[in-house]
Chain A
Amino acid sequence: MPHDHPDHHHGEHDHGMSPSGHPYRADDDHPLSHWQCMEIAVRELIVEKGIASESEITRQIARMDERNPAVGAGVVARAWTDPDFKTRLLADGSAACTEIGVQVETLKLVVVENTEDVHNVVVCTLCSCYPRWLLGLPPDWYKSRAYRSRTVKEPRKVLAEFGVELPEHVQVRVHDSTADMRYLVLPARPAGTAGWSAEQLAGLVGRDAMIGTGLPDTPTLTPA
């Protein structure tokens, strides 16, 4: 309790403010929701029946949390620097990832390429299908009703709100990820990056560029 210093007057704590002048955050003392109860019940049954131990479950959650968009950015950068790999990636995303040691397990990865004429954007209207092995957990907005319903109907407005302005002639191709495939957008390589290493290029590729709601960063510094 870093703020509990003995020299503070007790009175300061009685007005809902911490000694540093911030309001205390409310405790989460609310009853469990139906699905929270369900999750605990299922988890306890899994342990009780010896299907998995608590430490195995914890480790699996840690593995999920370790996945992040840098994994996907590495795949994109590799495709930008190795044309043969890009061909294989577009033909069979899962096999190409496995080939370079990127774990995808059972993921059926489909990589769709942004070109001068086509901009791809991914949504899952039914739930929150997302290439988690390559991007980590989806952002909250990806799971929101607003994103899911609007992206299939007015993708250009949605993209504009993300700051993506497309040239007039570019066609938008929305991918509603409903079934067994998971979609990753391969953005176009930014101009001004000739001679960059895959590692440098990966630094330009953020999560949204691989969902299609963003574009890669443009280079501002000449690499050393």
Chain B
Amino acid sequence: MSRPLPASLPEISSQPVPPPYPTGGGRFGPGMVVRIKRGRAPGHVRTPWYLRGKRGRVERLCGDFANPESLAYHGNGLPAQPLYRVRFTMAELWGDEAERPSDTLDVEIYEHWLEADDAA
């Protein structure tokens, strides 16, 4: 797959949005490029399959929230995970099949599903 790097990343407002809900601070900040971890995990995972391995930008840190992968099985959800709104371009998600490559998708992802991507 060859695609120009800049075109596959969305634009984020130059004015960072403060986290709307309480947080102890996360690893990533608005505008940073992140990649959704690849791979499978059993259980109540809130990271949609079609995003695995895809690169986007952090739009904002939403706050810290109990981990649903623990909550769903009577766990206490702790430690709470920073939750991010991550933005992707349709070009990144669907490649040549994208309906309109520059359209975007926002999705909430917990920090333990994100890794830093230094390619951009």
Contact = CB atoms under 8 A, between A and B. Distances in A.
A154 B99 contact: yes
A173 B83 contact: no
B100 A180 contact: no
Interface in A170-184: 171-181
Nearest to A175: B106
B103 to A, nearest CB: 4
B70 interface: no
Most chain B C-beta atoms within 10 Å of own C-beta, residue among A108, A173, A180? A180
B103 A174 contact: yes
Contacts of B65: 179-180
Interface in A142-164: 152-157
A160 B107 CA distance: 23
B99 to A, nearest CB: 5
Nearest to B60: A110
A42 interface: no
A162 B31 CA distance: 33
B99 A153 contact: yes
Interface majority SS (helix, strand, loop, mixed), chain A: mixed
A94 to B, nearest CB: 9
Contacts of B107: 175-176, 178
A155 B83 contact: no
B112 interface: no
A173 B104 contact: yes
Interface in B91-114: 93-94, 97, 99-100, 102-110
Contacts of A57: none
Interface residues of B, number: 26
B68 A157 contact: no
Interface residues of A, number: 23
A152 B105 contact: yes
A125 interface: yes
A36 B20 CA distance: 38
B17 to A, nearest CB: 8
Interface in A44-99: 91-92
A152 B50 contact: yes
Nearest to A157: B99
B47 interface: yes
A126 interface: yes
A126 B100 CA distance: 23
A99 B58 CA distance: 29
Contact of A180 (B47, B83, B99): B83
Given A175-B106, A177-B108, A180-B65, 10 more contacts: A152-B105, A156-B100, A174-B105, A175-B105, A176-B107, A178-B46, A178-B47, A179-B68, A180-B108, A181-B62
Interface of B: 20-21, 46-48, 50, 62-63, 65, 68, 83, 85, 93-94, 97, 99-100, 102-110
20 contacts: A91-B20, A108-B62, A110-B20, A126-B46, A153-B93, A153-B97, A154-B99, A156-B99, A157-B99, A171-B104, A172-B100, A175-B106, A175-B107, A178-B108, A179-B46, A179-B108, A179-B109, A179-B110, A180-B83, A181-B62
